[in-house]
Amino acid sequence: MNDVLRELAAPVLSYTIKKIERIEKGAVHLQEGTTFTSPILAKVLEHCEEMICFIVTIGSALEMEAARLNDYNRLTEAYILDRLGSLTAEHTINAFHDNMNRRYRNKGYGVTLRFSPGYCDWLITEQQKLFLLVDTEAIGVTLTESCLMHPRKSISGVFGLFPVATDDTTSPYNPCVQCRKRGCHARRRRVD
């Protein structure tokens, strides 16, 4: 299965860094004019000067193979391949986030948790604004009318860059700590 995964998954990422003009009344206003509305996102980014906007995908070959396996009633293989594709996309964005954390830590900045449209109170329709900021054509990701990404094994989102003092050990705001929602697959207990 690993050989199939290596053959079919083609992780690529596109990102841009945008200056935050101001954060007020539950909205994040970028200098170039885009506004994201989400009180929780605004709280996550409240001490940030810049925001990294990203989209990552592993392409569509893996999902096409999983569909083919489903058609041949090879359901276990299709499920495992599909799950491995999701994990590959998550691993790719986690590696990027970790890399940016290391790079900016050396410059005196920390990074927040990553946050995606559809998390908490950030409406999935705000995905349209995010797609206008990132070069999605270069990586072959499109957005449907219902704001779902194609290929399906794609992840979009943002994380902030905030200045830290050399002796500062505080962690950025984590909305999951205060959330009472049970069984959330996206729950994050801490920031790494």
Give me the pLDDT at residue 79, please.
96
Among 19-23, 98-102, 149-153, 187-191, the minimum mean pLDDT is found in 187-191
Strand 154-163 and strand 149-150: the pairing is unpaired
Catalogue all structural domains in the chain, each as residue range(s) with its CATH number: 2-177 (3.40.109.40)
Q: Is the peptide bond before 172 cis (omega within 30 degrees of 0)?
A: no
Can you tell me the distance from the alpha carbon of 109 to that of 22, in angstroms, rounded to the nearest whole number?
18
pLDDT, average across residues 139-161: 96
- For residue 192, name the pLDDT band (cuts at 50, 70, 90): very low
Tens of pLDDT, residues 52-102:
999 999 999 999 999 999 999 999 999 999 999 999 999 999 999 999 999
Tens of pLDDT, residues 154-172:
999 999 999 987 555 555 6
Give me the pLDDT at residue 45, please.
94
For the cut 70, the answer to whether the pLDDT of residue 180 exceeds it is no
Name the nearest CA neighbour of 172 among 48, 34, 11.
48
Give me the pLDDT at residue 6, please.
86
For the cut 90, the answer to whether the pLDDT of residue 2 exceeds it is no
Tokens 């950030």 locate to 122
The number of residues making up the chain comes to 192
Give me the pLDDT at residue 125, please.
97
Can you tell me the distance from the alpha carbon of 21 to that of 34, in angstroms, rounded to the nearest whole number?
10
Give me the pLDDT at residue 182, please.
66
Among 34-38, 93-97, 188-192, the minimum mean pLDDT is found in 188-192
Name the nearest CA neighbour of 154 among 171, 140, 168, 164.
140
181 or 44, which is more confident?
44
Can you tell me the distance from the alpha carbon of 181 to that of 51, in angstroms, rounded to the nearest whole number?
27
